[in-house]
Amino acid sequence: MPKTIQTHANHKLLYKSPKGLNEDLIKKISEEKQEPEWMTEYRLKAFKLFTRIPMPTFGPSLSNLNLDNIHYYIKPQDRIKTRWEDVPQDIKDTFERLGVPEAERKFLAGTGAQFESEMVYHSIKKELAEKGVIFESIEQGLKNHPDLFKEYFGKIVPASDNKFAALNSAVWSGGSFIYIPKNVKLDLPLQAYFRMNTENLGQFERTLIIADEGADLHYMEGCTAPVYSTESLHAAVVEIVAKNNARIQYSTIQNWSENIYNLVTKRAFAYSNSEVVWLDCNIGSYMTMKYPAIYLLRDGAKGEVHSLAISSKDQQQDTGARIIHGADNTRSNIISKTIALDEGISTYRGIIKANKNIKNAKSKVKCDTLLLSPDAISNTYPQIKSNSRDFTIEHEASVSKINEEQLFYMKSRGLDEDEAASQIVNGFADPIVKRLPMEYALELNRLMEMEMEGSIA
Amino acid sequence: MPTLEIKNLKASVEDKDILKGINLKINSGEIHAIMGQNGSGKSTLCNTLMGSPRFKIQEGIISLDNEELNNLSPDKRAKKGLFLAFQNPIEIPGVHLPTFLRSVVSEVHGRIDPEKFIEELEKNIDELNLKKDLLHRDLNDGLSGGEKKQSELLQMAMLRPKFAIIDEIDSGLDIDALKIVAEGIKSIAKKHNTGIVLITHYQRILNYIHPDFVHIINKGKIIKSGDKKLAEDLEQNGYIKYLKDA
């Protein structure tokens, strides 16, 4: 059972919806955001789908998730009214030890006022605007770029995709809208970080990224600090379009507090010779179900999913990847690294599909698990559905424990047992971590060390 | 003068007695070659000295400067100045060799400035004629047999131990690689006055490293000790002569 976190909500909330979901509430959300009619209708249609689509029939049990006991809309300025004193001590301790600046801590804990990087963000935004880049909140995106928005919104992940995509489509709030014009290449990662003070850390955020032909973008979402939320459900949707010759890397580090069900739908459409990389690191939450998908739609498209999941205590990380090879000469590469400690359950769940008559398609899947306690569990469910005769797939899977000989070797050089084990674990995660921007990689390593302290059996 | 002393050491692995009473005394700067056939107890001796949990001491004492090491974990032994160059260094994927080395040098000798550390590392690679590429490699992962031995040597040079146990470092090396490694051991030992326990099956490496003492080990006991001539005799006449005598 997820831990219940007691909070004392500030009673001056401007607007916090009653628990549960109905059509009136959805109309109210849409009205509040002054949306065009089509969006209101879209939300209502999605709500109908949500009520009809059953819970997922695979994966960990969601029977303890009470969907009637959730606030589906909290205006962002209200969401940040949790009192700092009420944030659990272990989360405060983690901030302290990660060296998260004071202002950020308050924001991440949901108590912050204005985040101080506002100024930084504005100067970056100006630079981006000169290149024609659009980097706005999803609400601004709808308002300021209605045609572009409508062309893609809900086209990659339709509301009917699954129950939680339907839910998100009905109640979405917050998230990013990004458009990179033709042949514009951004050298530095765009970081959701700079937009924290708007509403990036919502429960039902929605992100839409369009990279036009030849564009290049690395989008960085999340951070290593634990994100504390009083609401127990996070159901986000991320839609990505990589047009011909574009390249997008979408990196995520998520460390939700231990009461959260993190049920996210992420999908990308990849066109000719484009490349999409999902880099997904999941550390916290009570339960995560997330399988970033790439549809390789045109000749020569390439997709990669690199994921790292750490499950400790009684957490379940049910993660993986879904790739559809829908055209000739398409390539996919999946590397999944899972670490399970305490009584954690780590599962890789992947689907690789090759459509009929496609030629010269190749896929490579590598799943490695490191079990750090006798009670930890790891599962691997790779599914391959090929209708093509010209599709090759390599699948490799390994489950290992920390090896006694490795420990002896490192100890013989002067490291104590904990430090040796921690270096071995960091080494295990390194193929994923090294793809992150340096500062995130360092933070992530530090966080893994903390997760592991005293956990190694 | 620092001394590594082994008194009546008896040790077992998985309830099988391997070492049956080893006596040795090594002073700083001395080179002791321990020669023996497969199964004579050479590797057990190395691993027991370094404190591998697989090996249990049944009797006897290992001491460094009169301080007993028997109950110290391998990391504490390393901090006292003991080093083991492994015969088959195990791969640890994703752990970057220089990063690892910096962490262990800091553990053993105190914090070291990152820039100074890299300088030191490059200097050692240069002086010992090692591959510069080691700076970009992981800990034994993806390294060839020869590169692994070079990595062991580099670690030894950076850790500057008082005593180094070198377990069949000559195995699997061609003549050029062997020369580099042998010269390296000599130069480190000379620079830091390190006492060396050189374990080997063959006399070959002793053409490059001239030991002060040679010991023959058989069935867990040292059956004969002598100087360099003993090794030469062994090379000409084989182990059989001494095994008969024992």
Test B94 with A404 for CB contact under 8 angstroms.
Answer: no
Residue B153 lies in a domain: no
Arithmetic mean of pLDDT over chain A: 85
Instruction: Give, as one character, the DSSP assignment of residue B41.
Output: S
Question: What's the pLDDT at A113?
Answer: 35
Do the bridges between strand A233-234 and strand A261-270 make them parallel or antiparallel, or are there none, so unpaired?
parallel
- Given a cut of 90, whether residue A142 has pLDDT beyond it is yes
Mutate to test the interface with B, among A411, A418, A424, A449 (most CBs of B within 10 A): A411
Packing angle, helices B97-109 and B114-127, rounded to 10: 110
What is the spatial distance between Cα B55 and Cα B51, in angstroms, rounded to a whole number?
Answer: 7
Residue B58 lies in a domain: yes
Among candidates A414, A427, A431 on the partner chain, residue whose Cβ is nearest the Cβ of B92:
A427
**Two tokens at B72?**
């110290």
Query: Which residues of B are less than 8 Å from A415 in CB distance?
Result: 75, 103-104, 107
Question: What's the pLDDT at B94?
Answer: 94
* Confidence band, pLDDT 50/70/90 cuts, at residue A116: very low
A55 contacts: CB under 8 Å, gap ≥ 6: A62, A163
Q: Which domain holds residue B54?
A: 3-90+163-245
Residue of B nearest to A423 (CA): B95
Test B86 with A409 for CB contact under 8 angstroms.
Answer: yes
Among candidates B75, B95, B155 on the partner chain, residue whose Cβ is nearest the Cβ of A411:
B75
Residue B110 lies in a domain: no
Question: What's the pLDDT at A222?
Answer: 76
Test A412 with B53 for CB contact under 8 angstroms.
Answer: no
Query: Which residues of A are less than 8 Å from B103 in CB distance?
Result: 415, 419, 423
Residue of B nearest to A429 (CA): B94
Lowest mean pLDDT among A408-417, A447-456, B150-159: A447-456
Question: What's the pLDDT at A9?
Answer: 32
Residue B217 lies in a domain: yes
Run of H or E including B100: helix B97-109
- A312-325 tens-digit pLDDT: 888 999 999 999 99
More reliable by pLDDT, A202 or B224:
B224
ipTM above 0.95, yes or no: yes
Decide: B159 and B105 in contact? Cβ < 8 Å.
yes
Query: Which residues of A are less than 8 Å from B83 in CB distance?
Result: 412
Question: What's the pLDDT at A127?
Answer: 79
Query: Which residues of B are less than 8 Å from A424 in CB distance?
Result: 92, 95
Question: What's the pLDDT at A195?
Answer: 39
* Confidence band, pLDDT 50/70/90 cuts, at residue A259: confident
B174 CA: distance to closest CA in chain A (Å)? 25
- A209-221 tens-digit pLDDT: 999 999 999 998 8
- Given a cut of 60, whether residue A106 has pLDDT beyond it is no
Question: What's the pLDDT at A58?
Answer: 93
- Given a cut of 90, whether residue A285 has pLDDT beyond it is no
Amino acid at A223: C
Question: What's the pLDDT at A452?
Answer: 77
- Given a cut of 80, whether residue A328 has pLDDT beyond it is yes
Question: What's the pLDDT at A88?
Answer: 64
Q: How far apart are the first and last CA of chain A?
A: 24
In percent, the amount of chain A with pLDDT more than 90 equals 60
In percent, the amount of chain A with pLDDT more than 70 equals 80
Which stretches of chain B score pLDDT less than 70?
245-246
Question: What's the pLDDT at B127?
Answer: 96
What is the spatial distance between Cα A75 and Cα A202, in angstroms, rounded to a whole number?
Answer: 10
Among candidates B53, B107, B138 on the partner chain, residue whose Cβ is nearest the Cβ of A404:
B53
Test B92 with A423 for CB contact under 8 angstroms.
Answer: yes
Among candidates B78, B95, B104 on the partner chain, residue whose Cβ is nearest the Cβ of A424:
B95
- B178-221 tens-digit pLDDT: 999 999 999 999 999 999 999 998 889 999 999 999 999 999 99
Q: Which residues of A touch B (CB under 8 A)?
A: 403-406, 408-417, 419-420, 423-424, 426-431
CATH number reported for the structural domain that contains residue B199 in this entry: 3.40.50.300
- Given a cut of 80, whether residue A39 has pLDDT beyond it is yes
| Per-range mean pLDDT, top range of A64-73, A396-405, B73-82 | B73-82
* Phi, psi dihedral angles at A142 (to 5 degrees): -65, -40
Nearest one of A252, A249, A292, A255 to A274, comparing CA atoms: A249
* Confidence band, pLDDT 50/70/90 cuts, at residue A3: very low
Query: Which residues of B are less than 8 Å from A429 in CB distance?
Result: 94
Does the pTM of the predicted model rise above 0.90? no
Q: How far apart are the first and last CA of chain B?
A: 33
* Phi, psi dihedral angles at B111 (to 5 degrees): -55, 140
More reliable by pLDDT, A128 or A363:
A363
Query: Which residues of B are less than 8 Å from A409 in CB distance?
Result: 86, 89-90, 92
Test A430 with B103 for CB contact under 8 angstroms.
Answer: no
More reliable by pLDDT, B224 or A4:
B224
Question: What's the pLDDT at B194?
Answer: 97
| Per-range mean pLDDT, top range of A85-99, A199-213, A404-418 | A404-418
Question: What's the pLDDT at A79?
Answer: 44
Nearest one of A363, A338, A341 to A352, comparing CA atoms: A363
- Given a cut of 50, whether residue A118 has pLDDT beyond it is no
B227 contacts: CB under 8 Å, gap ≥ 6: B211, B212, B213, B214
A409 CA: distance to closest CA in chain B (Å)? 7
Annotate A305-328 with b (16+ C-beta within 10 A) or e (fewer): bbbbbbbbebbbbbbbbbbbbbbb
Lowest mean pLDDT among A235-239, A258-262, B99-103: A258-262
Query: Which residues of B are less than 8 Å from A413 in CB distance?
Result: 75, 78, 100, 104, 107-108, 155, 159
Question: What's the pLDDT at A2?
Answer: 33
* Average pLDDT rounded to a whole number, residues A89-99: 65
- A48-62 tens-digit pLDDT: 999 999 999 999 999
Residue of B nearest to A415 (CA): B75
Q: What domain count does chain B have?
A: 1
Query: Which residues of A are less than 8 Å from B93 in CB distance?
Result: 427-428, 430
Test A411 with B86 for CB contact under 8 angstroms.
Answer: no
